[in-house]
Chain A
Amino acid sequence: MKRKKVTIDGNDAAAYVAHKVNEVIAIYPITPSSPMGELSDAWSAAGQKNIWGTVPMVIEMQSEGGAAGTVHGALQTGSLTTTFTASQGLLLMIPNMYKIAGELTPTVFHVTARSLSAQALSIFGDHSDVMAVRQTGFAMLCSNNVQEVMDFALISQKATLESGIPIIHFFDGFRTSHEVMKIEQLNVEDIREMIDDKFVKLHRSRALNPNNPFIRGTAQNPDVYFQGRETVNKYYNEFPAVMKNAMDKFFEITGRQYDLFEYYGSPEADRIIIMMGSGCGTVEETIDELSKNPDEKIGLLKVRLYRPFALNDFVKNIPHTVKYISVLDRTKEPGSIGEPLYLDVIAALNESMNNKNNPFEKMPYVTGGRYGLSSKEFTPAMIKAVFDEMKKDDPKNHFTVGINDDVTFTSLDFDKNFKTESDKQFGAMFFGLGSDGTVGANKNSIKIIGEETDNFAQGYFVYDSKKSGSTTVSHLRFGKEQIKSAYLIESPDFIGCHLFSLMEKFDMLKDIKPGGTFLLNTVYNKDEIFDKLPAKIGQQIIDKKLNFYIIDAFKVAGDTGMGLRINTIMQTCFFAISGVLPKDEAIQHIKNSIKKTYLSKGDEIINKNFEAVDKTLENLFKVDITDKKPGEIQIKDTVSSKAPDYVRNVLGKIIEGMGDDIKVSEMPVDGTFPTGTAQWEKRNIAHQIPVWDESICIQCGKCAMICPHACIRIKSYDEKYLKDAPPTFKHMPAKGKEFGVDKVYTIQVAPEDCTGCTLCFEICPVKNKTQVRLKALNMEPQLPLKEQESKNWEHFLSIPEFDRTVVNTGLVKSSQLFQPLFEFSGACTGCGETPYVKLVSQLYGDRAVIANATGCSSIYGGNLPTTPWTKNSDGRGPAWSNSLFEDNAEFGLGMRISADKHNEYAGELLLRLRENIGDNLVNEILNADQSDEPGIYEQRKRVEELNNKLKVMNTPDAEELLSIADYLVKRSVWIIGGDGWAYDIGFGGLDHVIASGKNVNILVLDTEVYSNTGGQMSKATGLGAVAKFATSGKLTPKKDLAMMAINYGSVYVAKVAMGANDTHTLRAFLEAESYDGPSLIIAYSHCIAHGINMEKAIDHQKNAVKSGYWPLFRYDPRLIDENKNPFRLDSGEPVIKLEEYAYAQARYKMLTKSDPLQAKKLMKLAQEDVKKRFDIYKRLAESKPNSEPETKSNSESKESNSITN
C-alpha cells in the first residue's frame, strides 16, 4: 500500500494517530507536549474524524491533575480517551494513573519526556518525568525518532486495548517532539487494520452504566486489599506477548519490524550500551563508525518496552559474548545505588543467572551512567568515550558523560574532535532572529527537500532563552542515507547568517567544513564587505576557502513590501546556492509552498512573497575572496569587564554559547544565584532608543512608569553631581516640591538595554509646539547614540538615588524616583506585565520576598544566563523564587507564615532579652509604626542598633535573636503569576490563601491566555476571543476573579490597567500593600498573544477601560469599619463599544474572518456581558454601607473615588 511521505515533528506524529483512535482528549498545556493538544483541537475544530467516523471531543482542563481526572472519568464511562503531557504535568497525573492502571483501563498517554523542576526548572528533554511514574502500573513504551513516534502511538493503542493495561508512550522532549523529520505516514486503513473493534467493545462493556450497574472504586481493608492488588499480575505477565503481537501485526501491515528490545551491532560484541530514547540513533551511527575497525566488537541494546520489563526478551537479545555493559540513563536519582534502567538491568541479569536462563559464561560487568539531562547534547564523541571506558580494567561506574564533573569526578573525558557525520549528508545551519521568520522558512525548506526529493531530511531548531530580540539557530540535515544523528550539526556544509550582528554573538564559522558555503545578509556590497566583517570571520572565510555569498535581504524585503520578514528571501538564496535542487525547480517549490501557506490569506500576500523570491536572485552576489585580507574590526566582549567574576567567568560563558563547558564546581549546589546580573549582559537589541527633550518635559514620570525593561530612569539630585558629567548629559531644574529643593532632574535611557519598544514615547503626554509629532521623548537610531548615551548612563548610575524616606509615593511622577530593582529582563519588547512587576520592585523591593508562579514572569524573571532582579546600593533587594506553576499562592503563604513566625519569635526573644537590650529600644521596636518609608527606615536603624548589641552579648538567646532580627522589619510578601496560574491551575490554592486572612499581596498579571506556552485559553480569556482551545471563540465570559475575592469581604481587591490610568494603579499597589490582610491586584497585561501592535498597547489598555470591558475598581475592606462603601468604581460608564476595543486585536478579529456569524453572535453576547457586569459594579459602588442613609462621609468617599490619570 502506498503511503504518503510527510515531513513533520514528533508531536505531530503522535497526535496524528492519537486523534484517529480516540473519542475524548483531555489535556492541559505544558511544554514540550502542548502542540499535540493544540493540533488535536485544531483538527477537531476543522471536523476531522477518527477512524470510526466521529470527531474526537477535545477539552482543555485547568491542570494536568484535572486532565487526568477527566481522562479517568471518560475511560470509566467507556470512551476511548487520551492525554498528552510532560514533566510536572505527568507528576500531577500520578494519583489518577494508579487508579487507571489499578482498574485495568486501556489508554495511552503520549508523553514528551522532560526534565523535572529540581534545583531549577528546565523545559528540555530527559527521562526524569517518565521514570517518576514507572511504579504506577502503566506500561512504558519508548520511541526514539519521529517515525517511531507515529508507529508506536498506534502499536501502543492496539496493545492497551488488547491487554487492558494503560501505556505511557514517551519520546524525548524537543529532540524528538520538535525535530522535523521525513517519515512515512500511516494510512487510515493501516490504523483501521491494527485496531480490533472487539476490544473497543470490550472496553465499552466495562463502562459504568446505569442499565448494568456496578460500583468500581471501593475502599478495601487489611483483609483483602493485598490480594486485590495481586490480581493484576497475570495481565502484566501476559503484556509483553500482547505488545509483541501488536508489533508483529504492525510489521505485517507496514513492513517495519519492532521488538520489545532490539539489538544493533556486532553479534559477537564484547561491549554494549543499553539505553532508550533519541540517543539510540546516535549510538548506532557511532557503532557504524567505530566498527570500521574490525577489532571493535560493540553493540547497543535498545529498550522499547520498559514496563513491564520483559526479562526473557531482554536476555535473549544480548549477544552471549558480551562482557561489559554500560547502561545509560537520561535521568538522575540522587542517593540511589544507580539510576532506574541500570538497576533494572542489574536485577534482570542477576535474575536470569538465578533462573539458569543464562546465556553468558560470566555475569557481564555492568556500569551505569547518566547522559543528556535537559537535552544536553549526546554526541558520537561522548558515546565513543563510553565504549572506550568499558575497555579499561576498572571502568568507571555511576559516571556521567557530556559534562565536566570536577567535584565528584563522575564524568568521562571525551574527544570533541571525534565526529561521525557522513559526507553523504548535507548539513546546513542558519542563524537568525526569532522575528525574521528564519525558523519558519527552514521548516518549509526541509519540507520541500523531504517531500519533493528522495532525500532523507531532518530539521531541528534551537531557540533563545530571552523573549525580546531572541535569536534562533536552525539545523538542517538531508541526504540519501537514513539520518540517525540526534544531535546538533557539528560540521556544517552551509552557514546562513540572517543578521550581520549575530556574527558578534556566535562563533558561527568555527566548525564549517573547508570549502563550505557562507551566506550573509548584509547592507554592505561585495567590494566593501571584507573590511566590514569582524576580522575573525574574515580570516575563517579565507582559511577555509569558503564560498561566500551576500545579499541585502532587508532591502529586498523593503522593496517588495515584506517589511522585516526576510524568510522567503533567505530561503530562496539557500536553494539558489546550495544545489540541493535545480534552481528553477527549487524556486517553483518555494512558490508552491508560499501559495499553499498563504492561500487563505489573499493574493496580495502571495504576490508580495512571489515578488520577493524573484527579486532575490538579482540581489544575491558571490564575493571573490581571492587575495582578500581580513579587516580590522574586532568582536567585543559580550560581558563588561567591570562585571563580577562570577558573571564574567560563568554566566558570561552561557551568554557566549559556551555553557556546555561550565564545570560542575562552577554551578551552585542548590540552585542559588546572585541577583543583579542582567545589567552585565548588554544585548543592544534596539534599533531605536528614546532621546529626551528636556526643553518640553513636564516631569510627569509616566515614561519611567510604563517602561517594561526599566531602561528609562529618573533622578533628582544636587547640582554638584553635574561636575563630572559627560558633555552630552542632559538635565533640567527639578520642578515641584516632590523632587526636593534646588534639585536637578534627569531622564536617562540605558541605551544598550533598551528594547526600543516605544511605550515611553507613546505615553509621553507632551507635544512639541513647533512640530507636534515630537514629544519629550523621541525615538532615534540607537547605533549613533550608543557610545554617547552609554557614557551618560554610566554617569547617571553614579549619581546617588533619591532619599526613599522623603519620596511622595502617592504620585506617579515622584514614585519613579524609587530605583527599579527589576531591570533589563528578557521579556518581550513592550511587555505588558513587567511594568507592574517593576513597580513592586520600586515600592517594596528592598524588603520584598517574592513567590513567582511558573510562566512568563518566572522565565523573564529567572531564566539563565542573566536575571533581572537586582539590589540597591545598600545591598537590599527582592528575594525571589519560583516553586511550581500550581502551588504559587501556597508557596507565598509559606513565606508569609515564616516571616510572621520569625517576627513573633523575634518579639518573644526581645522580651526575654529586655533587660540586656534596654526597655526603650525593645518598646520602640515592638511598637514601631512601619506603615511608610520613614517608618521602615527608622525600624531598620533600630534593628541595626539591636544587632550591634546582640553581637556582643554572647548568650544563646542573643545569638538566636541575631539570626532572625531582620524579621522585625516589616516584610512585604508578593505572590506573582499569570492568569493561567491564578484563574486555573492555582485557583484552589489562591482561594485558600485569600481566605486565610494572611498579609500577602497577590499580583495577577492577566494576559487572558497562557502566554508562556503559546496562547492557550484560560478562564481569564474573554468571551469571543480566539485562543488555542477556543478556535471558534471562547463561548463563556471571563471569570470574574475579582468579584469572587470580594465575596469574602476581607480581601483587598483591585482591578488595574496601568496604560489606562497609572495613578490608579499606583494607588492600588499602595493600598494593597498597606492592607494587613490578603490583597489581590488583577492587572491588565497586554501581550503579544493578543495579536496587537505592541507599540499601541497603551491605546488598547485605554480602550479596554473605555469600553467597560476592564473597569477599574478597588475594594478595600478597611472602609467598612469607617462605614463607607468598600467598593469604589474608578472608571466611568462605557463610552465606546466593545468591538472598538476588541476588533483592534487579532485574537478577536480573526474570528470575524474565520467564522463571521459566530463572531457576530459572540460579540453581541460579549457586549451584553460587559453591560451586565458594569451595571453590577455600578450598583455595588452606589450601594450604601449597612443600608444606612447616605452620610456625609459617604459622599466624601464618592468624591475621593475619582482618580484622574
Chain B
Amino acid sequence: MDLSTIYMGMKLKNPLVASASPLSKTLDSAKNCEDAGLSAIVCHSLFEEQLTHDAGELDHYLTTNAESYAEALTYFPEITEFNLGPSEYLEHINRLKNSLEIPVIGSLNGVSNGGWINYAKQIEQAGADAIELNIFYIPTDFEKDSTVVEDMYVEIVTAIKTVVKIPVAVKLSPYFSAMANMAKKIDNAGADALVLFNRFYQPDIDLETLDVFPNIELSNQWELRLPLRWIAVLHGNIKASLAATSGIHTHTDVLKVMMVGGDVAMVCSELLKNGIHRATEILDDLKIWMEDKEYESIEQMQGSMDYRSVSQPAAFERANYMKVLNSYKI
C-alpha cells in the first residue's frame, strides 16, 4: 500500500505532518515525531515581531534611566554584542536538519517586508527544506480596505519567492471576503502550498478579574470542516499544494482531507494532548481503513471528493442558512 504523497514537490512517505507547534521545540520531541511516523515536521514559528520587540524593549530598559543621576550614569553593564537576531532559531533548524531524515519546514511569522525577506533567506541557509509563512494580520484599521490587505499578502509572497529557492507554503486565515480569489492570487504569486487555516490567539474574558486575555485552545475535530470545504473548492483550481491544519485528530480526518484534495494533513493538538505515539496509531488506522476499503494508495483517493468530483458540489457552497431553507419542504 502506498501512503506517499507529494507536498510542494517533496515526496513524503505519508500525508501526516507535524504542524508548526511546540512539537518541534526540542530535538527529542522532533525525533519522537519522526519515530512515530510523521512524514515531515514544520518548526515552531520564528516571530519577527517578537525579535523586533525584544530589541526595542531591551534598548529601552537598558538606557531609560541612564545619564540622569551623577552616581549612576548607567544601570547595566556595557554589552556590545547582543544576539537579537534569530540565530537560536536558525541553529535549531540546523540541528533538526542534521538529526532528522524527514523534511524540516521552517516557519516564519512576520510583520514587515524587510523582516520576512531577511529571515526567510536565513531559514533557507540554515538548511530548511521549505518555509511556511504564517501571515498573521488582524485588519483592525478602519481606513485600510480589503484590497490593501490582500495586496500586502501578495507582495510578501512575491518578495520571498524571489529570494529563496526552497518551496514556500503560505498559511492563511479564513477571514477573506473572497477566499477563492485570494487563494488564487497567492497561488499566482508563486506559493508552493496553501496551508488552511491558521488558528489565532483569540481574546477571552476573565469574569473574576474583568481582564481580557488572549488565549489559544487545542483544536477540536469539528474545526476540520472549514479547511475541508476550502480544500475541496480549491483543489484542481490552483497549482499549489494544499495542506489542512486544525482538527486533525484521527485517521478519518486524514482520509477526509485527502479525499477533498489535500496533499498533507497537519496534526498538532492530538499529539500534544494524547502523546506523539498517536501519530503511529493514526497511520496504522489509516492503513487498516484503506485495506478494509481496498484503497491502494493515497494518491488514488486524493481529490476524489473535491468540489468537481462530488455529486452535490453545492454542499460545499451552501451556508447553514440555505440548508435550513432547503430542508423546509412541505
CB closest chain-A residue, reference B78: A42
Q: Is the CB of B75 within 8 A of A1031?
A: no
Given the complex of chains A and B, what is the CA–CA distance between A31 and B59 in angstroms? 25
A1092 contacts the other chain (Cβ, under 8 Å)? yes
- With A439-B67, A1013-B72: A1146-B57 Cβ-Cβ less than 8 Å: yes
CB closest chain-B residue, reference A1010: B72
Contacts of B58 in A (CB 8 A): 601, 1146, 1149-1150, 1153
- With A1150-B62, A1153-B54: A41-B77 Cβ-Cβ less than 8 Å: yes
Q: Is the CB of B52 within 8 A of A604?
A: yes
Q: Is the CB of B76 within 8 A of A1091?
A: yes
Given the complex of chains A and B, what is the CA–CA distance between A439 and B61 in angstroms? 17
**Contact size class for A?**
35 or more
A828 contacts the other chain (Cβ, under 8 Å)? yes
Given the complex of chains A and B, what is the CA–CA distance between A1028 and B65 in angstroms? 15
Question: Which of A266-274, A463-471, A800-808, A976-984 lies at the binding interface?
Answer: A463-471
CB closest chain-B residue, reference A45: B77
**Other-chain residue from A46, A600, A601, A1013 in contact with B71 (beta carbon distance below 8 A):** A1013
Q: Is the CB of B81 within 8 A of A1150?
A: no
Given the complex of chains A and B, what is the CA–CA distance between A440 and B68 in angstroms? 9
**Other-chain residue from B59, B65, B114 in contact with A435 (beta carbon distance below 8 A):** B65
Contacts of A32 in B (CB 8 A): 70-71
Q: Is the CB of B65 within 8 A of A434?
A: yes
Given the complex of chains A and B, what is the CA–CA distance between A472 and B75 in angstroms? 17
Contact with B along A825-849 (1 / 0, CB 8 A): 0001000000000000000000000
B327 contacts the other chain (Cβ, under 8 Å)? no
**Other-chain residue from B61, B65, B84, B88 in contact with A602 (beta carbon distance below 8 A):** B84
**Other-chain residue from A35, A470, A1092, A1156 in contact with B61 (beta carbon distance below 8 A):** A1092
CB closest chain-A residue, reference B51: A602
Which of chain A's residues 987-1038 have a Cβ closer than 8 Å to chain B? Answer: 1009, 1011-1015, 1026-1031
B309 contacts the other chain (Cβ, under 8 Å)? no
Q: How far is the CB of A850 from chain B (nearest CB, A)?
A: 21
B83 contacts the other chain (Cβ, under 8 Å)? yes
Contacts of B80 in A (CB 8 A): 46, 600
Which of chain B's residues 55-114 have a Cβ closer than 8 Å to chain A? Answer: 55-85, 88, 114
Mostly, the A contact residues are mixed
Contacts of B68 in A (CB 8 A): 433-435, 439, 463-464, 467, 470, 472
- With A435-B68, A601-B59, A1156-B88: A35-B77 Cβ-Cβ less than 8 Å: no
Given the complex of chains A and B, what is the CA–CA distance between A47 and B66 in angstroms? 25
Given the complex of chains A and B, what is the CA–CA distance between A437 and B59 in angstroms? 13
A461 contacts the other chain (Cβ, under 8 Å)? yes
B210 contacts the other chain (Cβ, under 8 Å)? yes
Q: How far is the CB of A612 from chain B (nearest CB, A)?
A: 14
Contacts of A600 in B (CB 8 A): 79-82, 84
Contact with B along A32-44 (1 / 0, CB 8 A): 1011001101100
User: Which of A123, A433, A1009, A1146: most chain B CB closer than 10 A?
Assistant: A1146
Q: Is the CB of A38 within 8 A of B77?
A: yes
Contacts of B63 in A (CB 8 A): 437, 440
CB closest chain-B residue, reference A1011: B72
Q: Is the CB of B77 within 8 A of A605?
A: no
Q: Is the CB of A1091 within 8 A of B59?
A: no
**Other-chain residue from A39, A41, A123 in contact with B70 (beta carbon distance below 8 A):** A123
Given the complex of chains A and B, what is the CA–CA distance between A1147 and B55 in angstroms? 14
- With A463-B69, A601-B59, A1153-B54: A1147-B76 Cβ-Cβ less than 8 Å: yes
Q: Is the CB of B83 within 8 A of A437?
A: no
A253 contacts the other chain (Cβ, under 8 Å)? no
Contacts of B71 in A (CB 8 A): 31-32, 34, 123, 859, 1012-1014
**Other-chain residue from B60, B66, B114 in contact with A440 (beta carbon distance below 8 A):** B66
Given the complex of chains A and B, what is the CA–CA distance between A737 and B53 in angstroms? 50
**Other-chain residue from A433, A1012, A1026 in contact with B76 (beta carbon distance below 8 A):** A1026
Contacts of B69 in A (CB 8 A): 434, 463-464, 467, 470
Q: Is the CB of A472 within 8 A of B82?
A: no
Which of chain A's residues 916-970 have a Cβ closer than 8 Å to chain B? Answer: none
Q: Is the CB of A601 within 8 A of B84?
A: yes
CB closest chain-B residue, reference A1013: B71
Q: How far is the CB of B305 from chain A (nearest CB, A)?
A: 46
CB closest chain-A residue, reference B67: A439
A1202 contacts the other chain (Cβ, under 8 Å)? no
Contacts of B61 in A (CB 8 A): 1091-1093, 1146
Q: Is the CB of A35 within 8 A of B73?
A: yes
Q: Is the CB of A767 within 8 A of B84?
A: no
A388 contacts the other chain (Cβ, under 8 Å)? no
- With A600-B80, A1091-B62: A461-B67 Cβ-Cβ less than 8 Å: yes
Q: How far is the CB of A1029 from chain B (nearest CB, A)?
A: 8
Q: Is the CB of B65 within 8 A of A1031?
A: no
User: Which of A472, A1012, A1088, A1089: most chain B CB closer than 10 A?
Assistant: A1088
CB closest chain-A residue, reference B71: A31
User: Which of B55, B56, B57, B65: most chain A CB closer than 10 A?
Assistant: B65
Q: How far is the CB of A41 from chain B (nearest CB, A)?
A: 7
Contacts of B54 in A (CB 8 A): 1149, 1153
User: Which of A563, A1092, A1154: most chain B CB closer than 10 A?
Assistant: A1154
Contacts of B85 in A (CB 8 A): 602
A598 contacts the other chain (Cβ, under 8 Å)? yes
CB closest chain-A residue, reference B73: A1014
A313 contacts the other chain (Cβ, under 8 Å)? no
Given the complex of chains A and B, what is the CA–CA distance between A178 and B67 in angstroms? 12
Which of chain B's residues 9-60 have a Cβ closer than 8 Å to chain A? Answer: 51-52, 54-60
Q: Is the CB of B56 within 8 A of A604?
A: yes
Q: Is the CB of A1088 within 8 A of B79?
A: no
User: Which of B68, B85, B114: most chain A CB closer than 10 A?
Assistant: B68
Q: How far is the CB of A1097 from chain B (nearest CB, A)?
A: 13
A333 contacts the other chain (Cβ, under 8 Å)? no
A1175 contacts the other chain (Cβ, under 8 Å)? no
Q: Is the CB of A1014 within 8 A of B56?
A: no
CB closest chain-A residue, reference B85: A602
Contacts of A1093 in B (CB 8 A): 61
A1135 contacts the other chain (Cβ, under 8 Å)? no
Q: Is the CB of B77 within 8 A of A440?
A: no
CB closest chain-A residue, reference B70: A463
A197 contacts the other chain (Cβ, under 8 Å)? no
A174 contacts the other chain (Cβ, under 8 Å)? yes
Given the complex of chains A and B, what is the CA–CA distance between A1027 and B66 in angstroms? 14
Q: Is the CB of B62 within 8 A of A1088?
A: no
Which of chain B's residues 96-150 have a Cβ closer than 8 Å to chain A? Answer: 114
- With A604-B55, A828-B65, A1156-B88: A1150-B72 Cβ-Cβ less than 8 Å: no
Given the complex of chains A and B, what is the CA–CA distance between A463 and B83 in angstroms? 33
CB closest chain-B residue, reference A1029: B77
- With A435-B68, A604-B55: A772-B84 Cβ-Cβ less than 8 Å: no
**Other-chain residue from B55, B77, B81, B210 in contact with A767 (beta carbon distance below 8 A):** B210
A603 contacts the other chain (Cβ, under 8 Å)? yes
User: Which of B55, B63, B67, B82: most chain A CB closer than 10 A?
Assistant: B67
Given the complex of chains A and B, what is the CA–CA distance between A433 and B67 in angstroms? 10
Which of chain A's residues 1018-1066 have a Cβ closer than 8 Å to chain B? Answer: 1026-1031
Write the residues of chain A forming the contact surface with B, with a CB cutoff of 8 angstroms.
31-32, 34-35, 38-39, 41-42, 45-46, 123, 174, 178, 433-435, 437-440, 443, 461, 463-464, 467, 470, 472, 563, 598, 600-605, 767, 772, 828, 859, 1009, 1011-1015, 1026-1031, 1088-1089, 1091-1093, 1146-1147, 1149-1150, 1153-1156
Give 8 nearest A-B pairs by CB, closest first.
Answer: A434-B68, A1014-B72, A602-B55, A1146-B61, A439-B67, A1091-B61, A1015-B75, A463-B70
**A-B contact list, 9 entries, CB within 8 Å:** A32-B70, A38-B77, A464-B69, A604-B52, A1011-B75, A1026-B76, A1091-B61, A1153-B58, A1154-B79
Known: A600-B80, A1088-B64. 16 other contacts (CB 8 A): A31-B71, A46-B80, A433-B68, A439-B68, A602-B55, A603-B114, A604-B56, A772-B210, A828-B65, A1009-B75, A1014-B72, A1015-B72, A1026-B79, A1091-B75, A1147-B76, A1154-B82
